[in-house]
Each structure stands twice: as C-alpha cells, then as structure tokens.
C-alpha cells in the first residue's frame, strides 16, 4: 500500500506539471499535488504510529487528503475537459485508495486490526 500511495502522488504530480500554466491551473494543481502527497506521507507515517489512536488519526488524515485530491481533480477536469481520460484514471485510483481507507477505518473503529500495518 505504501508504494501504491507513493505512485499515486508521483503520477498526480507529473500530471499537474503538464497542465497549462495559467493562474487557475497553477492554483488547482498546487492544491492537488499537496493533498495527494500529504495522503502518501500520512499513510507512510501511520506505519510508524506510536499508538492505536495515533494510527487511526493518521488514517483519518489520509482519508481527508484523498477526498480533497478527488475534489481538485474534478475542478481541473471542469477547467480542462481535454484531460478527461487522464483525470478518470487518477479518480479511479484515488477512489480505490479512499475506499480502502474508509473500510480500514470502519474496521479499526470496531476494534479490529485494520490490515497489515507493515505493507
């Protein structure tokens, strides 16, 4: 999972670099790369959590950042309709990662382990 999050962040960053350099795209792409990389960084940090509470808190941050990255992908698509195919690819991956985080958080809140923390 750690590599999958990293790949998502890197791919989104390369996508952002290809967008036109106008003020709107610069703003949206900057926000997109920040939240995608934050999701990856917080997932990585969750693997070193000091407690169960810390682990859950990091997962909540990952969930929020993934949701935000999906929002900025929507905004980028609205401004750049020609990016639909690429945005769709990243939305699918972002939604899959988000679904995994939501399911993991549900398990953790019920008292389960929530998967392998070493991945």
In contact, 37 and 67? CB cutoff 8 Å: no
Tell the burial category of 81 from Cβ atoms under 10 Å away from its Cβ (0-12, 13-18, 19+): exposed
pLDDT-based confidence at residue 111 (cuts at 50, 70, 90): confident
DSSP 50: S
What pLDDT does residue 58 have? 95
pLDDT of residue 100: 96
For the entire predicted model, the pTM comes to 0.88
Give the C-alpha separation, 61 to 44, whole Å.
12
- Ordered domains of the chain (ranges, CATH): 2-109 (1.20.1440.60)
Of 11-15, 42-46, 52-56, 63-67, the poorest mean pLDDT is in: 52-56
Residue 114 has pLDDT above 60, yes or no: no
Burial code (b: 16+ CB inside 10 Å, e: under 16) for 33-51 equals bebbbbbbbbbeebeeeee
State residue 112's pLDDT score: 57
pLDDT class for 101, splitting at 50, 70, 90? very high
Residues 66 and 94 sit within 8 Å (Cβ to Cβ): yes
pLDDT in tens, 48-87: 999 999 999 999 999 999 999 999 999 999 999 999 999 9
């Amino acid at each position: 999972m750690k590599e999958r999050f990293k790949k998502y962040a890197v791919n989104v960053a390369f996508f952002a670099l290809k967008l036109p350099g106008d003020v709107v795209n610069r703003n949206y792409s900057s926000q997109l790369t920040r939240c995608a990389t934050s999701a990856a960084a917080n997932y990585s940090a969750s693997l070193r959590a000091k407690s169960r509470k810390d682990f859950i808190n990091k997962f909540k941050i990952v969930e929020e950042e993934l949701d935000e990255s999906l929002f900025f992908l929507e905004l980028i698509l609205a401004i750049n309709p020609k990016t639909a195919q690429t945005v769709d690819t990243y939305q699918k991956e972002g939604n899959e990662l988000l679904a995994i985080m939501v399911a993991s958080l549900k398990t953790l809140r019920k008292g389960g382990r929530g998967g392998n923390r070493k991945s």
